[in-house]
Structure 1
Amino acid sequence: MINSLGYGFLARGKAKRRTCRRSLAAWETLEERVVLASSMVELSVVAAATPVDAQGEVANVPDDLVFVNEWQDFFVEIWASTPMSDLQDLDSVSVDLAFDPGLVDLLEIEPGAGFSLAFSPNASQAIATANVNGSMVIDASAATAGVGDDGAAIVARLAFRGDGVGIDRAVRVIGPNELGFSIAAAEVQLAPGSPETPFTPADPLTELWAIPYDQTDDDRIGFGDLALFTEYFFMSVTSDAPAMAWLSDFDKDDFVGFGDLAIFTQSFGLVKPSNVLNFAPTFPDFWRPEPLADLNGGDELGIDFYTTHILGEDPTPIADTDLVVRNATLDELTELTITIINRLDGADEILAADVGGTGLTANYEQLGSTLRISGSGTLADYQQVLGTVVYSNASLEPNMSDRVLRVLADDGAGQGDTAIAIVSLVSNNRAPDLAPIANQQARVGQLLEVNVSATDPDGDVLTFQLDEDNSPAGATIEQLTNNTAVVRFTPMAGDGPGPFPFRVIVVDDGIPSLSDQETFSVTLANPVAPIVDLNGLGGDLDFAATFRVGGPAVPIVDTDLLVIDPDSPMLQSATARIFFNFSDGADELLAVDVLDTAIMASYDDATGILALSGAETLDNYQRVLRTLAYRNTAATPDLGDRIVTVTVNDGQLSSQMAASTISFIAGNDPPNLAPIDDQIGLVNVPMEVTVTATDPDAGDVLTFVLDEDNSPAGATIEQLDNNTAIVRYTPTTADLPGPLSFRVIVIDSGSPPQVDTEAFDLFISNAAPVVDLNGADEVDIDFDAVFTEGAGPATIVDSDLNVGDDNDVVLQSATATLTNLLDAGQETLAVDVLDTVITAMYDSNTGVLSLSGEDTLANYERVLRTLSYDNTQTNPDPSDRVVQVIVDDGLDTSATATATVTLDTINDPPNLAPIDDQTVEYGQEMVLVVSATDADPGDELFFMLDEDNSPAGATIEFTPGATTATIRWTPTANDGPGPVSFRVLVVDSGNPAAADSETFAVTLVTATPQIYDFQTGQSGFPEGTEQNSTPLMKLFRSGDTSVPSTVDVILMQAAVDGAIPGVDFVPGPVTVFFAPGETEKLFSIESIADDIPEPDEWIDLSLGNFSGNGEAGTTRPTKVARIFDDDVFEELSISAVNAVAAEGDAGATAFTFLITRAGRLDASALVGYEVTGSGANPADTADFGGAFPRAVVSFADGQSEIMITINVLGDLDPEADEGFSVTLVNPAGGVTLGTTIATGTIQNDDAN
């Protein structure tokens, strides 16, 4: 629709403009458009400010104007929103807005209701700079909280006015012009949240059109425009009608009539700017360059169409059912193309059409994403087929961005305006439903588990996840079933006091994937102190222990000591202190075992305090405290009881103190077993380790034993004397990879008996086997061999090949691998396994010979000494072969030994292809390509002519290494009548070289010349004013037309009115090429355009530089061509303004006439005028004071009209009415005359 103000709108019900606006240039580079950001920034082009609420928000962003005209003011509104979250507001928005300053001017800018704007240095300077650069950075800050959480919020509103667009009469175009509004860059700060790059939908497609009524382009609609309009009044607008007639056909009914006059007068007198211009309903659609396709039909504004394709359902038409294909000049088209500008799913996206009954063809080109409808057909045919064009997308994971389809029509003379079809992709997939999650309470250090569940109406596979940006670090989610998951979180003291927000997201696997989300928070409960109970499950927290003087350290807590904390699974520290009777100082010790924990233990022997630190689990602190032991090394210790206190701390609170009471008794001193070093052994090699011990108590008898639970089965210990023993063990392959642990115990005979222990490890290794292809008498393990083609298998190892293993007598397998198998299926590796249990298997596809079966080293050595290589290929690849050999004892493989096999090959002769006999004309060059092959890879071929059996002057050319050569020969009369014999030789580079030859004969015939003539008749073409003209002319060929030939068309300045080369036309010659069989060919001469009025000019055309035996004909060997001058002259016309009046009784009466100038106004001009009597009763000189008036008027640069006055003298003589004419004469300054005569009537007012 078009309203009375001249704005064009696209109704929201017709299309979803918010999701499909983008310039073609932007769509052509679009790769993917998926909303990943939490925020969105978009533009809207509107005629008036959009109503908003107090926060500047709206539920729906308004649609864009389809077009604006160059005189009207309009607005660009910038909107921001948070479509992915209702928990975040807009804190600030920064937008770099780009536009075309050559087409529009920025007038002013105002902030949205919820924002304030900042400019540097001020808004006026920023606007001035933007109108030069075509861009403006708009920095907006939210004025209040909550902006953008309930809808899209307007950030800023910018007022624009069209500028710099004009009327191109030469090509009859007044639009459309793309305004270029786009978001070059944007950043949004959310609250809460971090700065992010927002999602930006497509840019506006609003068009800018020139005003057709302002025909003088002086920003006003006045008498000058009316004069131009009336000049073409009642004129039919055909393809050859003047451009001004086309411009004056305002309702586009191909006739300048009263309807156009009515439209024009409604806007008469308006000046720019103006928002009250009136347009015909056909504006601007019927002003678009044609041919074109109007996809939304003639009853809708614009020619674009917007539709929706439902994935998985039938293909979708890309145009409305009432689409129209238009062409103002022809009733036919030659081609219609529909191109997917942003095909994001590759071959899954298809365009198709039904051409039934039209004779047209439709072909979809996957490479260019273009459906090409072609063939000579009527507009109705093309309209019918375009109505069947459909879009489909079979992708299982489609990109959901809107698709942009470009539609172009071509009638052979050119293309018209581009129509756009926007296809939005939607799915019938329904979103999952995540059940609400209640808020939770947790304790520091204690695991919290929250079960969540979801359903999906389509039964889709669901995936649960945590939003990392809106959930605490360390929180996890584990999916249990398709519909359930558990969220786990252990708050620690370092996490702060809370509460902690969580956001759970569930995503389905539909097309496209949809999601749901729920949020909940976790608060922390008050902490509870931990508990340490030294006696475990006893009645209280304390424990009692006994220490024997001189004895080892003793545990001072129960083995089931307990550490408990109701609200934390972690402890931070613990303390054990000799609280009472710390009388022996440094001789008293408290100790724990912290192995495999993160706990650090530190004992201070000056204070008797054992400090444990480090964040660890309750279980690990409990395990460490269960090892708490006391020892006293004093020779005569204080035998009074000791009290040791124990406390634990969870980082917030300490436990109640627990106590262990230690009583002392006297006793036996333990023996001392010397430390035992770790051992290294080999499989099947016995190990012997000597151990020693002493005892401080004289007379104690020592006994050595192995701890059977901590030593391998089969290990023994033999005691040699009271202080010495030997540990013995032989490792086997079953002990690999080790290490084995041993624990030796020594026991004394005191009362009670005391013991000491030492442990050591045995590390076991296996000795890898060895294979040496050239025997033990050579330096390395590799071998070189030679295979002779056709001589049978060759042994590729030395006769004294050696296989060894330091700790094994048998092998399990071996492999020989031909690493570069070049003649697959023809190359073989083989061995002789006779009288062994070894099995040999060769794979000809991989070149691997596999030997398997447990057998002795000697048998594997005997078999491998027979390893041979054979090649039955007729022409084997001469490259050296590399064979790698490995043996395996079941535990380790040997190092790789390599046999290099050199191939001694036989050279095969080349094969020259047979050569057909030839027929050649005298004087014509024979060019003949011959080819040859060679069965031996790598052989180079050399071609030559047998000079004794080939004619003089014949040559042969080839590139070294090529398989073809070219023979050239031009026969003359001296070569006789023929036939002439040739003998060709080819020789290869083998050793020794081999050759082949072929012969052929050439029959000689006399040539028929090619005759050339120009087309009869005069040729002419316009010069062009802005663009060079390239007309086509025709040249004929007769005679021998079976061969290709060329001839030059020579261009010369004619003797009379000659066009000047390089000034009036592009100099020649023009080379014309004829293919075999062609008898006529078009060629072109290019004029050099200018805008200088001048006489027509002439070019002489002749022929020369004939190829072969060509010659000029006798019918039309020369020709002249005329360059028509088409430069626009200034045209002067005269019209009567006030030219019918009474003469009066005395004095003079003024009669006025208007001289107008059209065309070029960029220079001055002169014209004269003369007055004469005319009509049935002509006026005479007396009426004008004794002489007819005559004068010269001068037009200044840019001046378009001059009013002249003719004074008529009054008298008292009764007489008839008299007539006179004012005639324009003697124009100067490149001026032509239009209407040259205007008439006046002197009415008699005297009584008889």
Structure 2
Amino acid sequence: MPDVARIIGRTHWLIRSGNEGLTTVARFENGGMRRRLQYFMTRTKSKTAPAQRRPLGHESLEQRIVLDATGLEGNPYTPDLDLSAIATQEVVAGDTLTLDLLTAGGTISDPDGEGNESGDTFRFMLDPDVPDDTPTGATITSDGVLTWTPTESQLGTFEIVIIVVDEGSPVLADAETITVVVSSANASPEVDLNGSEEGTGYAASFTEGDDPVTIVDDENLTVSDEDNTELVSASIIITNASDGEDEVLSVDTTDTNISAEFDESTNTLTLTGADTLENYQKVLRTLTYENTSASPTEGDRTIEVLVRDGDAVSDAAVSTVTVSGENTTPEVDLNGETDGQNSTATFVEGAGAVSIVDASMTVVDADNDNLDIAVITISNLMDGDAELLAVDTTGTNITAGYNNANGVLTLSGSDTVANYQQVLRTLTYNNTSDDPSTDPRAILVIVSDGANYSTIRTSTISITTANDAPAFADLETQTAYVGEEMVVVVTASDVDSSDTLTFSLDTSNSPASATITQTGANTAEIRWTPGASDEGNSVGFAVLVSDDGTPVMSDNLEFSAMVNAARPTVDLNGDSEGTGFLVSFIENDFAVPLAEPDVAITTDSSTTITSATVTITNFSDGTAEVLAADTTGTSITASYDDTTGILSLTGVDTIANYQSVIASLSYQNTSEDPTAGDRAIEVVVNDGVVDSLPATATVTVFAINDVPDLTLPAPYDAPETPVEVTEFTTVSFTATGTDLDHTADELQFLIDSDDSGLPDGAAIPTITNPGGVFSWTPDATGTYSFRILLVDSEGDVDQELVTFTVVDDTTAPTVVTAPSGDLTGSIGSLTVTFSEAMGSAAFDIGNYTLEIVGGTNDGTVVSFVDLTQVSDTSVTLNLATDLAIESYELTLDNSLIDDLAENLLTGDNTFDFAVLGT
């Protein structure tokens, strides 16, 4: 029989049984009209011979029918089978489907049954085309009862062809289809990546450089199976992986029987091992995606998740991961093949410039061929303009500029990564000072591709100098107090900072109980506690210092200490060791305390205290630094001088009250750029006789670096609205850069024109440092954008975009000034000024003619010897000798003289004047 598509619709069939098991069939389309009448027969019972179709003989059928426009003679109406009311049938493999078509809603109509004495008898049959139109095993009774027991190999949706024939003469037929869905007896497992949300899919995003991202709902993903408590495997497949082995799927199988293996060649993660639904759910909730490519292919990845219970596999649940790229930061490695990315070098005084990077240092950028800028900075410039950085830019498009005021070498100009690497490999340091500081120099190197700056790399330079003798700093007579340890700091210096200094006491000329301890490279502390017998005496000390140079050099120092009676004490930390107090202050914090609540004051001379002084000894931030105390309930008055950093407490009061007030001391710093480091805040009390030894509260101030702020004036601050300028007309404005933490000299303006859209060879803008004056004379029409950068000395950057639309210059130039009227004096040249920038013809001496007018020399041409271009808008015409007393006419050739846009000169082109003499 024909396939389903040929049976459905309004096609009717006339069927006859023939000899040798053949069924003859005639098909009529267009409701039985005689056009497109086809006869053929199909073998239905032979199992050995293939199906055949051949034209029917006239004797078998054609002689029995007569065709006209109304139908078939003897049986003019075909049966009409309608199964549209029968719903889709569902059956489980192994179960039997029994369906009575007429009871289930099917109908048959045939006009032959009305007024026809014999009437028509209807008989049902199935399409003999097995298994294409009739599934194997399906049967139907002549009165329309369909029976079928599908197997597990017959899962899916079937369109079964039902044929009804009448018993008229000739026999006519109609065919329709019913739908049967066969499902497995074993229920498939199911996986839902989003839990209770609609559908089974999930959406996630991954951005280049991210850590692995979870690509399912890690709290609500579900795995279920109606007839199994375990699964045996799962497959997770990136169906459209674009970046090969850089795309990775992973899960966490901890505490399960599940094993995970990721195949990079197929981008498939396979989970194996029989385990509970709960454990497969637990593992799948940890599913992550990662892309390690430095330049990943952007777009969606379709990731299919399927689970298996050993008998059936789930439908695929899809996680869609949107992959986005990021511009990769360039990288600098100053020591090349050696471990790490930083380098070291040694500079020897007087030996000349030294290379400060390895010869194999590298610069790489994974997704850019060119770099735009490199900044090399001596971060701790010690010897001013004696320190120099230099490179060799030969053979490149890179421009090098060194600022010896701040130790910054800038390399600018778009050029290949290889050329930037070539230039940076020539980086050298030199110091021309006769007494260079020996502090190691930290040379910071950073490069940019126009979008991102690399991580700062550091070349550390050690400085070696010649040996000189150390020298003590002068020391005045000291004051000591009975029972109180005297601490005297002696300081020696050595221009050779690499030398190690050693301090010692001359015991023959110093008290026996005195000690000396070296506290730093150039300092030592002498400690001595005088006894009662020393009161009123001047006690002498002798100190020695020597270096470890060749030869060893030394110096000596003698001083004396006057011993006075004992004085009061103040202890800021009470019961704790020592008398000091430590606290930290972070920029923008609230005030911090300067003492513990159990402050202790002692004195042998009085029961009261007369005053106290609290001093910021290294007052750094002016009025931003504030000391305060609470004097409530006391006779004490507090007064703070914000110009000196001194808080004065005055008024005779009990020791207890002074202790209470000093315990309330606080420090605040309101600066937005506080000087970082320790503040030594000394507290001294006076008992009416003598001041106490200072007790010190140390406040460590931490500053937070602020990003610079770049501002462009209107209308240049709105890149979405390009500023219209005329070709060859200079546009200029001043960008403003501020930074709470840096001076103007520590800020640098830069212009990135790499992605401006300018054609090759077009004029590019400039910007001044310092000042930030932007200037550009465009010579190409179109819309262009430039990125202005403001970089501080620590590498922080702010940037703004400025956009211009350059339009054609259609304005013709005119002469603004030319010689005219009566001139006196010696006239050896003539100056002409134009209204705008001019083309080359304006600077061609041949386009100017000077002629005497009137008198005996009328018509005489005076020659110019040459022409001086004063600017792009002005020329000076030079004469061989001063002009004689005559009347003249200067003529400009306005057929040739034009501006840069080739607009010819308009307006007056002849100018009359007279020379009257001196």
Rg comparison, structure with higher value:
1
| More contact order relative to length (CA 8 Å, sep ≥ 6) | 2
TM-score (norm 2): 0.28
